[in-house]
Homo-oligomer: A and B are copies of this chain.
């Protein structure tokens, strides 16, 4: 059984983010990729939707300019024939402030011919914003 595309893509992406070596990940991205990370783009301009390999490589480079991955733990994973979903807990450093950031995300990815054609990433963004601000945001208790 050959290795699932998720594992190859994951290694290449982490290499891109931490070592700024982009050749592996570039080879694993479909020309017409459909990419989205949901979250506040005002604060994190590398969130949001991107279409096509050039735009996605650019955003991966911007993420690499902003964070370094220290550890990650894949808490859940489901693999389909050409698809994969996982929930991952990352320990990062924000490079500008040198602050640690702990982040949980879920992704749903689709592959074709071993290349990533679609990915949607969801993040517990309120927790992320508070960590990036370095303070709590006061919230009223809304629900009963």
Residues of A within 8 A of B (CB): 38-40, 42-46, 62, 65-66, 75-76, 78-80, 83-85, 87, 94, 96, 104-106, 108, 120, 122-129, 132-133, 137, 139-144
Q: A133 contacts which chain B residues (CB < 8 A)?
A: 139-140
Residue of B43, B46, B94 near A139 (CB, 8 A) is: B43
Query: Given the interface contacts A78-B108, A104-B38, does A66 sit within 8 Å of B143 by beta carbon?
Result: yes
> B144 and A65: CB pair below 8 A?
yes
Across the interface, which residues of B come within 8 angstroms of A128, CB to CB?
126
Of all chain B residues, which has the CB nearest A139?
A: B43
Residue on B with the closest CB to A87? B108
Closest residue on chain B to residue A83 by CB atoms: B78
A72 to chain B minimum Cβ distance, whole angstroms, is 15
Q: In the complex, are the beta carbons of B106 and A122 less than 8 A apart?
A: yes
Q: Are B38 and A127 in contact (CB under 8 A)?
A: yes
Q: Which residues of chain B have C-beta atoms less than 8 A from A78's C-beta?
A: 78-80, 83-85, 108
State A87–B76 Cα separation when bound (angstroms): 14
CB pair B132–A105 under 8 Å, yes or no, is: no
CB-defined contacts of A43 to chain B, threshold 8 Å: 139-143
